[in-house]
Amino acid sequence: MSGKNKLKKFADLSTFPNVFQNHDVRQPELVDHNDEKVEMKGNWRKDYFKNDHPLILELACGKGEYTVNMAQQNPNINYIGVDIKGNRIWKGATDALGLELKNVAFLRTRIEQIELFLEPNEVDEIWITFADPFLKKGKANRRLTAPPFLDRYRKILKPGGLVHLKTDEKQLSDFTLEVLEADPATSLLYYKEDIYSEPLDFSELEIKTYYEKMHLEKGKAIKYLRFTI
């Protein structure tokens, strides 16, 4: 992507009413499309969605394919796609606006700071779809199912709230299974090493992101875990 095109996307993003951004990790505050500071923690339903429907996050949402598709399928559920990459969020936010989806928002921030922008018990479920598996030695704690991240999710999830992981990386799914086994507070509800080896058990799994399609073309098996923390 050219630098000029990326700059245009960042400029567009600042005008999108469905996008909230934290521009500086040292200043944990959000701005809206009017470049005004807003306090969304605890107020997502009241101030943005204008309802009391369940709230689901997609973490490291990339281009937001899962966020947008799930929102289309479930108009009575609210969705927030979370990513630090503004040029990626641009695609999902643009699609959501074009489809006139009122149950979609995007939060541009580091996931390490997620609890700064959502209050305890505000979130019903979390999806992690094809996030970076951080396979290099010494990077395990950056995986989105590493214990430090699960601790962050506990701060915002409702008791019994679900966490979903969909990945093509066996190392990440095996790592996650090990983390869950070592943590007595967690409960593994479902695991399948190759979801397409037989009919899907959950309709949400039919959604395929750009990366999933690419992995499937390479013959990789898609793994799926569902658990509580």
Residues in the chain, how many? 229
Helices (H) and strands (E) in the chain, counts: 6, 10
pLDDT at 211: 87
Which pLDDT tens digit goes with each residue over 83-137? 999 989 999 999 999 999 999 999 999 999 999 999 999 999 999 999 999 999 8
Q: What letter does residue 185 receive in the DSSP assignment?
A: T
Tokens of 71: 């929102």
Residue 225 neighbours by CB under 8 Å, 6+ apart: 164, 165, 173, 176, 177, 180, 188, 190, 191
Confidence of residue 2 (pLDDT cuts 50, 70, 90): low
132 is catalytic: yes
Measured CA to CA, the distance from residue 79 to residue 66 in angstroms comes to: 10
Give the pTM: 0.95
Q: What is the mean pLDDT of residues 40-52?
A: 98
Confidence of residue 8 (pLDDT cuts 50, 70, 90): confident
Measured CA to CA, the distance from residue 73 to residue 200 in angstroms comes to: 16
* Residue, of 23 and 76, whose pLDDT is higher: 76
Confidence of residue 7 (pLDDT cuts 50, 70, 90): confident
Q: What homologous superfamily is domain 3-228 in, according to CATH?
A: Vaccinia Virus protein VP39 (3.40.50.150)
Pairing of strands 78-83, 55-59: parallel
Tokens of 50: 């204008």
Q: What is the identity of the amino acid at 146? A: A
Coil, strand or helix at 22: coil
35, 47, 132, 174: the active-site residue: 132
